[in-house]
Structure 1
């Protein structure tokens, strides 16, 4: 996972806070010097381990190093040199890096109270106690809040990228569905007209030529529709689809009855009802073996009924499933089925 915000290198310079104790050791103000020097070295090593292990995701090992750090710091703070209390903020910075959630706030409270007691027992004044405890408490708190903030920012960025990937996938699915609807209908029309050409060619060359010309026109129209789909346009509208349906059904030898109310649906509903007419008529031509087909539109309720073979096992193919998704997205319902013949009913709000 990508890490945002400060990295481990940002926390190592804080070790410069240990300068006063080191200065006391160099100048000989601490006796015995060897245990104190070992304590400072151990403190620095454990602090580096806390930061390094935590940023590498080894939380359990980092927690063990933190426990050792706290033990060493309180052993050092019981020494005679008052300047050693400058080390206290470093232990809370390590706490803010290693711990997450509410545990860090609880531990910071306990450490602040413990530091106050140790300083009071050592005879430090209230000014020194206030300064040390304030730095100790705020050091760990600020580090914890900043790291949490950048962690949330990272999660939000990853969520935004995932949403973008999902949106792209949904758009690809929508486009493939639209392309299926466009080409499925168009290819069905071309197949019907090609069959008409085959039947007419032996006995009526002129009629066959007209059907061939229609195939050419349908092919050109299909290219236009595909270009429109690529450009983001959806459908040709209800009136155009009804006119196309009459022609396609007639060419397929299916008697068509179209009844449409005078109410004009809203533009979005008009486009969706056009898609429904296209898909329904395509299914009638390709699958029904029907002799008659009735198309009725009352307001925003569309019904396409035929007297064909009825619903088979694959009645709801890709086209109807895609149409159902569009209808539901607009707040409508789609019903399809039937035993004697097939009925497609789309109801929009």
Structure 2
């Protein structure tokens, strides 16, 4: 029992001396749980916006659930711009013989909820029509036959939620593996003494960082190209836009992950400590990348997402792969990723200063 007690005491003392490990162990789960609480607690109901002409049968509008926002329009709008610009989930037009519905379908899971509320409005309208017919012509009551035409701005009727997740998942895996591999690789350079010997020479810190960034960057870009091409051509995933922009976005994301991984590695002394940063650096990016809808959460929580590069990459990849848009729609996201790279490269250079002995 004495030897067992000695081992326990030894472990406790080592952990107490390693304050960084203790803080990460206690703090990281609290941060993740808090984010999950705020995100999932307010995301229970879909926030649905429907566009309709101002001449539409008001019975249809009255039959919609109370939480559905209806936006009337005087003139016939252009669907390709209206649904995006006005943040509509669908536009419904009802005439005497036809029902035209155009779904945005950016999020296929939400499209299912939109179909349900439209169905509820149509049922209410049909019930009102039936009452009028029965009151006027009780012996010849018959509802008029109306055809329904459904179109989709993005994707098709067969689109699934995975189609929305897929562009973001590509970016996530690119970021995660590049971050982890680059951080651990640079950490090994330090622990093996390679970095210290290099810093003892006349080589500039900026040259070291740019050199490492370029060297690792070549393999990061190769990994990115393989992941993107494999997903598109072998898994047969659809891409509405130009594949060149998909590669450009992921390469910028990989370089930002590389720069961030190198920076975080300066705070770790072991590979285990490097792994401990995953809940703080990687997990929050999943929440804010676009995989989880953030329409209903508080603004102050949503703003946190702009501190993570995967938020910008997710938006850009969605614009290209799902909406088929080009540079004019993603240049701000590309600029943000470039800023991430520049800032963390500068921080990497400054971070090496404490390891230079001469």
Task: State the TM-score, normalizing by the size of structure 1.
Answer: 0.26
Task: State the TM-score, normalizing by the size of structure 2.
Answer: 0.26
Give the number of the structure whose alpha-carbon radius of gyration is greater. Answer: 1
